Amino acid sequence: MLIRGDEMENTNQNYLESLIEWGERIKDILKEKNIPEEELQDWTIQIEDWQKTVQLQMHEERANSQDIANIKEEGKRILDSIKGQKGTPINDSHISYGKHKLPELPYAYDALEPFISEDIMRLHHDEHHKSYVDGLNKAEDALYSTKKDREPIKHWLREQAFHGSGHYLHTIFWNNVSPNSSKNPTGEFLMQLDQDFGSFKNFKTLFTETAASVEGVGWAVLVWEPRSGRLAIQSFEKHQMFHIADTIPLLVLDMWEHAYYLQYQTDKRSYIQNWWNVVNWDDVSKRYTEARKLKWKLS
């Protein structure tokens, strides 16, 4: 188990990695803007120099909070200076069409051993998840670019739904598990589980049965339903079918055979039972708290 100092180090490392990714996003956005080549080069150099500083900090044995604050300040200064240029509106709060990237795993490939093997994690993340990211980018390039032929539109819409849902669900899935699982939910989220399912045990039984009912390609999913103000359990066929719209996934379990077959073969119940050992309840609870902030009129 990690000690508190190590957890902080991991948090700092994750934050620094997110800064590098943010820099990449800004560079992508700038490339799409119609700005003079010289200005583009100047900003690209500034961002890349700043990213080098971030990388150096990542290699420090212990993070220095003042150094991290300085890095954050410098990133903000660069962005403000870009925004301050006349005619260069920039919005870093979105990912442009066709520019999705495979997110890093928030832990090592072997961190979930023995419950989920390193081999599965490598194949699952590096091959399967990547193919959803690539497929989504291709579909978005076809759908949203004015230069390309988007026909037949139904094909690209189908591709966008399949790969887009695959990408987003896997992103939730990686964060929904952790080598440091607390094993049980707590606090307000536990109270909500009790209220809606009678007990955590009842919820676990229903979720397990739902997962076991998935036939080879699909997911078991706990969602928050803003329309009804309660939790619900669903299964998704493939990634995008058989589910209710306007709900927010909180906890997802990948029941595609690629998620367990290499280690568990046809014994999907053992996979499900072992997966419960690595559920990241802090993440699920955080998603629940954020989802509750969305206030729809109940209907």
Q: Provide the binding-site residues for Fe ion, judged by CB under 5 A.
A: 254, 256, 259
Is 139 in contact with 156 (CB distance < 8 Å)?
Answer: yes
Nearer to Fe ion, 169 or 223 (CB): 169
Cβ proximity of 47 and 27 under 8 Å: yes
Residue 27 or 238: the one with the smaller Cβ distance to Fe ion is 238
Give min distance, CB of 167 to Fe ion, in A: 10
Minimum distance, C-beta of residue 217 to Fe ion, in the bound complex (Å): 9
For the bound state, the minimum distance from the C-beta of residue 169 to Fe ion, rounded and expressed in Å, comes to 8
Min CB(60)–Fe ion separation in Å: 35
Choose between 27 and 128: whose C-beta lies nearer to Fe ion.
128
69: left (phi over 0), alpha (psi -120 to 50) or beta: alpha
Per-position b or e across 108-132, b if 16+ CB within 10 A of its CB:
ebebbeebbbeebbebbbeeebeeb
Shortest spacing between CB 166 and Fe ion, in angstroms? 7
Sign of CA dihedral 192, 193, 194, 198: positive
Task: Select 256 or 264, whichever has its Cβ closest to Fe ion.
Answer: 256
**Which CB sits closer to Fe ion, 44 or 234?**
234
Residue 259 or 272: which CB sits closer to Fe ion? 259
| 3-class SS of residue 157 | helix
CA angle 19, 42, 94 (to 5 degrees): 40
Could you give the C-alpha distances from 163 to 128, 139, 239, 249, 261, in angstroms and in order?
Answer: 10, 8, 8, 17, 21
Kindly state the smallest distance separating residue 258's Cβ from Fe ion, in Å.
6
Query: Which amino acid appears at position 146 of this protein?
Result: T
CA 161/CA 241 separation, integer angstroms: 9
Cα 179 from Cα 143, distance rounded (Å): 39
In the bound state, the residue with its beta carbon closest to Fe ion is: 254
